[in-house]
Structure 1
Amino acid sequence: MKFVASLSAAAAALGALAMLPTTSAHGPETREEVVKFLDQQATAYHCAPAVAAYTAARKRSWAQKVLGGAPIADQNRFIDGYFEAKGLDGEVVKKGIKELEEEGKRIMACDPVVESKIRNSTCVLAPQSTEGPYYHTEAHPIRSNMAEWQLGLHFEMDVGVIDVETCEPVPNILVDLWHANATGHYAGHPEPAPHLRDEKPAASGLRRGLLSAYPRTNHVDTFLRGALPTDQNGVAHFVSTFPGYYTGRATHVHIKVHNEWSVLPNGSFTSGNLVHTGQFFFDDDLNESIDKLWPYNTNPIIALGRTRTRNWEDSLQIYQDAHDNGYMPTFDVEKIGGVLQDGLVGYITVGVNTSASYKPVWNPNSGRAGGVVEQKPIDKATHEEL
């Protein structure tokens, strides 16, 4: 089923959206930006009801398991009517999606308030972003808890993977994450190269604010790196710390999605086929709040008299490029407890094409994931190449 909003419905949504309070991290602000955004999302609407129900069910299921049945916040945080008295069993989810398909059409077409809640979960093909210089082709352990002994705010990531060709969650696909620690350092890359210790950030151009990549001098540390296969509902859930920032980059989490991999004796893996490389982000307001907490307030950038990079100032245009085709790369974040220091959980859904094969090439002067994408005949039931 493919749904494209009518012109009158889109116009009504546009008028209402223009009056809503928004932030740049959540998408368009001006009338022109809203027009462009709605136009980009037209091809995504065929999956939107499914993903809305999918995300709501994941939130409810997580709350039931962790909080003894109480929702994370009040019931209004969930889309009205979605998955009441339903669990996250695959067949129940599928049944719920079918039952709510028509309601989902109405929501997406006519209710901009609710539509704004599910934008960052809308099922579109996630844009390919650079893998950056800090990805390790080996020693990313297969594990759910990737925090190790790092200090920082407790942060859980609930990552759903949906096939954009079928709008169905993808089970048993490997989600691979890595990010910086509270003070902006990646495992294995503690110091700049000796001849670049006094390097100043680039003053202009696409690399404005960036330093040269730190070399890998530690081949043992694996903190804040981990990979996990999705469960039967297409979800991989990670425990970590909230990422810190470094000069020139907005706060972000890297992701790769592999649909072919082999487990090694040491608990890590080798990849046989890659279907996505991208990055996730956070609202600037949330970043600023966390900046005040220890140890985030000891970030060495502060001592140097520099400031954090906002989302829309992200070097190499990575944050901007991550919005291609109407995709929203910003985590939908909930508090775990009553206050920020209790920790956070972030939900996001990645739309991938499981029939694709992607070979990334890192370009230090571009935020795009330069590489080759090939279409391969894939058995959708087994996710194996035909």
Structure 2
Amino acid sequence: MPGIHRLLVVLLPLLASVVAHKEPKTTQEVEVQRALQAAAYHCAPAIEQFTAARQRSWAQKVLAGRPSLPGYEELFAAGTYADSIAPAPNGDQTMMGCSPVKETRIQNNSCVLTPVVTEGPYYHKAGHPIRQNIAELEDGLLLLLDIGVIDVETCKPLPNVLVDIWQANATGHYAGHPTPAPHLVDEQPQVGGKRAGLLSAFPRTNEHETFLRGAWPTDANGVAQFTTIFPGYYTGRATHIHAKVFPAWTTHPNGTFSAERLLHTGQFFFDDAINVRVDNMHPYTENPIRHTRGRTRNWRDSLNIFEDSHGPEREYNPVFKLDFLGGVIQQGLMGYITMGINASATVDNFWKG
């Protein structure tokens, strides 16, 4: 590990010059990724214990006999379940009496600082609310997210960093971007190449919309939790959720924040087997491209974003580990993932068009 630390000390200051999807990737960029990969693998046992403990904690809360979840901002409020957590009488834990709760092996399920992937055109640098429940009035399959952040320099959870996420709704639209530009209404997706299947980004025409956007700081245990819906899909992209991590931010009177220094930009994905099931639920069945272009599978994701998220040697897994909240998928899902972050690095990856 000392060798890894030495390599990180040399390479991490170079991260400020690394730009997402620059072609071709330089030897320097690959070495930065490999150094962080080595650091993340050193942390793999700590990450596995970290995630397993979070899964046990969540299972205990569900097993405590709360048939209805608390609503909106209080969903994950501190102390919500403090008086009601109790072990199962026989020592066996079964979620909702149906689905077994297991200590899932994480298999280094971490999305490390690099590879950095593009934030895409739908991030709002100003106006993202600080909140845990980001669903607003959007209909869809309940999805609870448990996102852990570990510092790869110490292999310990990283408290008080801001995890900022945003995603498409069930029919594939982002808040603020409902329609294509007037002159591109009849645009067809690109054929062939890395941008295969993509359309030009829809412009921001609804400034007031904020659904499925929000940020929350990690707690003392390095965890940020969110309430949302399973994301929909749109032309050319695999089903995904975007994420950024900021070490410092300014809160504004309207409940939004601004931040400059960026630690990480990435995207999380879902197993295609789950995507196929959700495709057949309402309102996902109302996606306007369902019967024409359809959903892009992970392995066909445009810009190679799904592939790039696995790193140069495909050693990362940017796919959420999912548990059922009940006995059937329609009752909702709980997704776990852990990001490895180097808290002393800075990445300049704000979308530049």
TM tier relative to shorter chain: 0.7 to 0.9
Residue aligned with 2:264, SS? strand
| Aligned pairs (5 A) from 1:1-386 | 44-68=40-64, 69=87, 70-72=93-95, 73-75=99-101, 77-78=102-103, 117-122=105-110, 124-303=112-291, 305-324=292-311, 326-362=315-351
Residue aligned with 1:156, SS? strand
Name structure 2 gaps, 5 residues minimum.
5-34, 65-86, 88-92
Residue aligned with 1:274, SS? coil
**Do the aligned partners of 2:149 and 2:157 also contact (CA within 8 Å) in 1?**
yes
Query: C-alpha offsets along residues 136-180 of structure 1, whole Å, 9 cap, x if unaligned?
Result: 011111000000000000001100001111111000100000000
Instruction: State the alpha-carbon separation in 1 of the partners of residues 36 and 248 from structure 2.
Output: 31
Instruction: State the alpha-carbon separation in 1 of the partners of residues 49 and 183 from structure 2.
Output: 53
How much does 1:44 deviate?
A: 3.5
How much does 1:356 deviate?
A: 0.8
Q: 1:243 to 1:53 in 2, by over 3 A?
A: same
How much does 1:279 deviate?
A: 0.2
Q: 1:122 to 1:152 in 2, by over 3 A?
A: closer
How much does 1:118 deviate?
A: 1.4
Q: Which has the higher contact order (CA 8 A, sep 6+)?
A: 2
Q: 1:200 to 1:227 in 2, by over 3 A?
A: same
Residue aligned with 1:317, SS? helix
Q: 1:282 to 1:321 in 2, by over 3 A?
A: same
Which amino acid counterpart does residue 136 of structure 1 have in structure 2?
A: H
Instruction: State the alpha-carbon separation in 2 of the partners of residues 201 and 42 from structure 1.
Output: 38
Query: C-alpha offsets along residues 40-79 of structure 1, whole Å, 9 cap, x if unaligned?
Result: 966543211111110000001112223315454425x216
Residue aligned with 1:286, SS? helix
Query: C-alpha offsets along residues 221-278 of structure 1, whole Å, 9 cap, x if unaligned?
Result: 1000000000000000000000000010000000000001011110110103110000
Residue aligned with 1:297, SS? helix
Which amino acid counterpart does residue 65 of structure 1 have in structure 2?
A: K
Count of aligned positions: 292
Instruction: State the alpha-carbon separation in 1 of the partners of residues 287 and 2 from structure 2.
Output: 47
Name structure 1 gaps, 5 residues minimum.
5-38, 80-116, 365-386
Residue of structure 2 in register with 1:105 after alignment: none
CA RMSD of aligned residues (A): 2.2
Same amino acid, percent of matched pairs:
58
TM-score (normalised: structure 1): 0.72
Which amino acid counterpart does residue 46 of structure 2 have in structure 1?
A: A
Which amino acid counterpart does residue 280 of structure 1 have in structure 2?
A: F
